[in-house]
Structure 1
Amino acid sequence: MVTKVDKVQDGRAPLIVQDETRKENNYMVYLSTFVAVCGSFSFGTGIGYSSPSEAGIKKDLDLTIAQYSLFGSIMTFGAMIGAVTSGPIADFFGRKGAMRVSSVVCIVGWLAIYFAQGPVPLDTGRLATGYGMGVFSYVVPVFIAEIAPKQLRGLLTAANQLLIIGGVSVSFIIGTLLHWRTMALAGVVPCLVLLVGLYLIPESPRWLAKEGKQTEFDFALRELRGEGVDVSEEAAEIKDYIETLEKLPKARLFDLFQTRYMRSVIIGVGLMIFQQFGGINGICFYASSIFVSAGVSAEIGTVTYAVLQVVVTALNALFIDKAGRKPLLLVSVAGMTAGCLLAASSFYMKAYQISVAAAPALAVTGILLYIAGFSLGMGAVPWVIMSEIFSINIKGTAGGLVTLVNWAGAWVVSYTFNFLLTWSSYGTFLLYAAVNVVCILFVVKLVPETKGKTLEQIQAAINHQ
């Protein structure tokens, strides 16, 4: 058995005291990921809240359709504000600090909804929960990517999307059993778990290194990799990379469009544009009506939809570090394209009275295929890649931009979907199919494979292409 001890430098305790035969103990990485994805679960419960609670809120507070529509949609505006501020908050307060801020704002929002006696406090609460979700949507995948060893990074970052989907599904299910005020209280629970859990886990070592907090960096990296594990190579690589970045000026928004950052910005923004403009929010919005038109009850359709999302997203998490990011994206978008074409065919058949009896089944098949395809890759992988490709000196600014683009796209697609359907039902799905075909070309030409590489290797490769 060989034991190595690094020399004491600058009066600090040695960074490494380890038995070289010992392997990484990922217990703290898993615990830290669990704590972080409580934010993702909270994100999902917020998204899923407005659908099952609609009838109860409208009845109890005597809201009009327009007032409830404002309640549902104002979350997106809150998320946009959260997206704009998420990067600076995560850079200034740290990844844990940003999650702490987001949790507190979400709790305040849920309590405002719980106590609401009219539309103003109701909308204020919804806006606050949306803000928290905007921050969570950026900081959770970034934190996980920065703490995870390279062989687990894809799996653990994909858990972000899995817990979002889980939160949506739980909201759909418990919404049939609980009063809307009780549901709002239930939304507080994951935020409280996260707040308590943050006291048990370390901060991101990469952020600590960027801030020059050497002692905390040493401790956090040792804690994440396990007692006695040799982290000298990883520590040296992180420090060298940070030292190189410190020579660069602090990035502002317009700095992102410099040549050395342009490729990573195009990849991050492009994936989020294709994720949203491929039609996910519109198709989710219309799914229940399609199930009903096919003769399937709304409840059965919703449960099928929710279970399919959870199962396929879980498969994505299991295979993302084995199959790789790029192959999963390509298979995913191909499935989404096929689903859109099937749905378009169904609406075309109904519009022109061709095999009308077969049209509903074709529509349901198309929607389920689309959801399965989206859950397999396009739901989670863009967030995984976003957390990997930006160097730490631009991560806050670039991550905020990418997250804002995602939420803005979600709003545009949700807002325009009904107008597109009025124009042409089958044309709408053909349009989404065309966007997904372009996405395939984008992935083939521009998106790198990041599986099995450290963050520093990924960023260096992208910025030197």
Structure 2
Amino acid sequence: MEREEYREKLEIGYPLITARNSHESSILIVVISTFIVVMGSLNFGFGVGFSSPSESGIMEELGLSTSQYSVFGSLLTVGAMIGAIMSGYLADYLGRKGALRLCSLFYLVGWLTTAFSKDIVPLDIARLLVGFGAGLTSYTVPVYIAEISPKNMRGGLTTTNQLFITTGILIVYLLGTLLKWRVVALIGTIPSILLAAGLFLIPESPRWLAKAGRDKDFKEALQALRENQYDVSYEATEIMEYVEELESLPKARIIDLFHRNYAPAVIVGVGLVVCQQLCGINGVIFYASAIFKAAGYSSGQSASVGIAILQVPLTAVGAMLMDKSGRRPLLMIAAGGMSVSCFIVGLAFYILRHSQHSALQLVGSRLALFGLLAYIATFSLGMGGIPWVIMSEIFPINMKGIAGSLVSLVAWFGGWIVTVSFNSLLSWSAAGSFFIFCGVSAFTVLFVAKLVPETKGRTLEEIQSSFKL
């Protein structure tokens, strides 16, 4: 009944909510809300980066073998896959904020357990907990940001998810060179606490509230997220009509992902994260030290920090460009640049392997350095963040939980496959490995050109309706 009365008021131009203060600009609420939820992304980056600078300290203090530490490091991915499987359901059942509260709890308990672990068992459990938080974060944060953002700001704001992941990696790398690993783990609790506290200050996703039938809360949240004098009646009507249309459909099931109305979006979402992972990025980041040593550079830790430093500003540049240039051009430029960069690295390793001449060896080392830095730069510009932006935009709200969980799971599983096989690939042929990544990146350009739609400047409802056949 409330929805019918609400629609009648909208049709006669009744203002949704009276502005409380004409001098307030509630766009600020969108920015603040984004900053608060990406504390989860910052913690995600902490988790990914923690195992690298902490390796020697943990192994010496707890007396771990190399294999035991490798298991510890890999458990983040295992926990993340579990979190990814459950992320869509939890974000739909608990709400976006409820799922993020759960993220903060898992991160907090995980980091505290890490800091006070005396042997390998609690340390492994802690790693699983942080991984679960990361898997839940990888879906929930971009979806929440996309659902609260105005269409002209959505791309840049959603990319802050990837920006804060890279920032978290950089911070933990730097802290790891200065502080003991237990202190670094305790510092990891800070973003968890900020996220948990900040969630009390920001609105829930209006689209989730509309789907949950909480119409009064939906109106208040939507108006709070827009300028107070802005008439949200058209946007509100569009969201409510779209939600009501979806409510008339049967409850979403996994098999529905293959329905002709949803399969194109699933192909785009899954295809992008498969391309993102199979281009080799996790292998390059996780084993940067070994790659640089193979290319003739001795300081592996410095190389890892250098890569982390490079990622942050270029991810920020990508975020600023996204709502101006569009998603597709940035994706194709990034994937094309990665393909060229991987070819250069592959050529460099071929020279290093097959030539003993000192001048050619020097050329090979310099080419490898240039190619690896260019690879990281172009990945950060587009391929790092845009697949998650598009994933958060293309699925209708009734399928978002199931489809988002699938995309997140595929991304984490793909990352695990690359990480596990990377050393074997390098042992087989360093040059051949990068030529393979070159081919995958080139295929990504074609995939984006043929199948990925441009979502810039369109509402989520317009994007999702465009996939219907």
TM-score, normalisation: structure 1: 0.95
SS in 2 for 1:393: coil
Establish whether residue 401 from structure 1 lines up as the match of residue 401 from structure 2. Answer: no
> 1:258 maps to what in 2?
259
Establish whether residue 382 from structure 1 lines up as the match of residue 387 from structure 2. Answer: yes
Establish whether residue 430 from structure 1 lines up as the match of residue 468 from structure 2. Answer: no
> 1:305 maps to what in 2?
307
> 2:369 maps to what in 1?
364
Q: Give 1:6 deviation, angstroms.
A: 9.5
User: Cα gap change, 1:226/1:167 in structure 2, threshold over 3 Å: closer, same or farther?
Assistant: same
> 1:339 maps to what in 2?
341
Establish whether residue 416 from structure 1 lines up as the match of residue 421 from structure 2. Answer: yes
Q: Give 1:421 deviation, angstroms.
A: 1.5
Q: Superposed, which structure 2 residues align to 1:10-409 within 5 Å?
A: 15-17=16-18, 25-292=26-293, 293-295=295-297, 297-353=299-355, 355-409=360-414
Structure 1 residues 381-410: Cα deviation after superposition (integer angstroms, max 9, x where no partner): 000000000000000000000000000000
Whether the 8 Å CA contact 1:18–1:230 is kept in 2: the answer is no
Q: Give 1:112 deviation, angstroms.
A: 1.1
SS in 1 for 2:251: coil
Distance (whole Å) between structure 2 residues aligned to residue 24 and residue 401 of structure 1: 37
Q: In structure 2, what residue type is equivalent to 1:161?
A: Q
Q: Give 1:22 deviation, angstroms.
A: 9.0
Q: Give 1:31 deviation, angstroms.
A: 0.7
Q: In structure 2, what residue type is equivalent to 1:319?
A: L
Q: CA RMSD in A?
A: 1.8
SS in 2 for 1:249: coil
SS in 2 for 1:452: coil
Q: Give 1:241 deviation, angstroms.
A: 0.4
Whether the 8 Å CA contact 2:26–2:224 is kept in 1: the answer is no
Distance (whole Å) between structure 1 residues aligned to residue 147 and residue 329 of structure 2: 23
Q: In structure 1, what residue type is equivalent to 2:141?
A: V
Distance (whole Å) between structure 2 residues aligned to residue 423 and residue 29 of structure 1: 49
User: Cα gap change, 1:24/1:391 in structure 2, threshold over 3 Å: closer, same or farther?
Assistant: farther
Distance (whole Å) between structure 2 residues aligned to residue 353 and residue 56 of structure 1: 38
User: Cα gap change, 1:460/1:22 in structure 2, threshold over 3 Å: closer, same or farther?
Assistant: farther
SS in 1 for 2:216: helix
Whether the 8 Å CA contact 1:6–1:16 is kept in 2: the answer is no
Whether the 8 Å CA contact 1:76–1:411 is kept in 2: the answer is yes
User: Cα gap change, 1:199/1:280 in structure 2, threshold over 3 Å: closer, same or farther?
Assistant: same
Distance (whole Å) between structure 1 residues aligned to residue 402 and residue 439 of structure 2: 31
Establish whether residue 455 from structure 1 lines up as the match of residue 427 from structure 2. Answer: no
Q: Give 1:296 deviation, angstroms.
A: 5.9
Q: In structure 2, what residue type is equivalent to 1:392?
A: I
Q: Give 1:299 deviation, angstroms.
A: 4.2
Distance (whole Å) between structure 1 residues aligned to residue 366 and residue 192 of structure 2: 40
Identity of aligned residues (%): 51
Q: Give 1:347 deviation, angstroms.
A: 0.9
Distance (whole Å) between structure 1 residues aligned to residue 379 and residue 206 of structure 2: 32
Whether the 8 Å CA contact 1:329–1:443 is kept in 2: the answer is yes
Distance (whole Å) between structure 2 residues aligned to residue 47 and residue 270 of structure 1: 23
Tell me the number of residue pairs that the alignment of Structure 1 and Structure 2 aligns: 456
Distance (whole Å) between structure 2 residues aligned to residue 40 and residue 272 of structure 1: 17
SS in 1 for 2:29: helix
Structure 1 residues 56-103: Cα deviation after superposition (integer angstroms, max 9, x where no partner): 000110000011000000110000000000000000000000000111
Q: Give 1:226 deviation, angstroms.
A: 2.9
SS in 1 for 2:26: coil
Q: Give 1:14 deviation, angstroms.
A: 6.2
Distance (whole Å) between structure 2 residues aligned to residue 409 and residue 312 of structure 1: 24
Q: Give 1:425 deviation, angstroms.
A: 1.4
Structure 1 residues 220-251: Cα deviation after superposition (integer angstroms, max 9, x where no partner): 01111132321001000000100100011121
Whether the 8 Å CA contact 1:264–1:463 is kept in 2: the answer is no
SS in 2 for 1:106: helix
SS in 1 for 2:467: helix
Whether the 8 Å CA contact 1:343–1:426 is kept in 2: the answer is yes
Q: Give 1:416 deviation, angstroms.
A: 0.7
Q: Give 1:350 deviation, angstroms.
A: 1.3
Structure 1 residues 120-177: Cα deviation after superposition (integer angstroms, max 9, x where no partner): 0000000000000000000000000000000000010000000000000000000011
Structure 1 residues 260-298: Cα deviation after superposition (integer angstroms, max 9, x where no partner): 100000000000000000110112233223434444633
Unaligned runs of 5+ in 2: 1-5
SS in 1 for 2:178: coil
TM-score, normalisation: structure 2: 0.94
Q: Give 1:253 deviation, angstroms.
A: 1.2
Whether the 8 Å CA contact 1:22–1:229 is kept in 2: the answer is no
> 2:3 maps to what in 1?
none
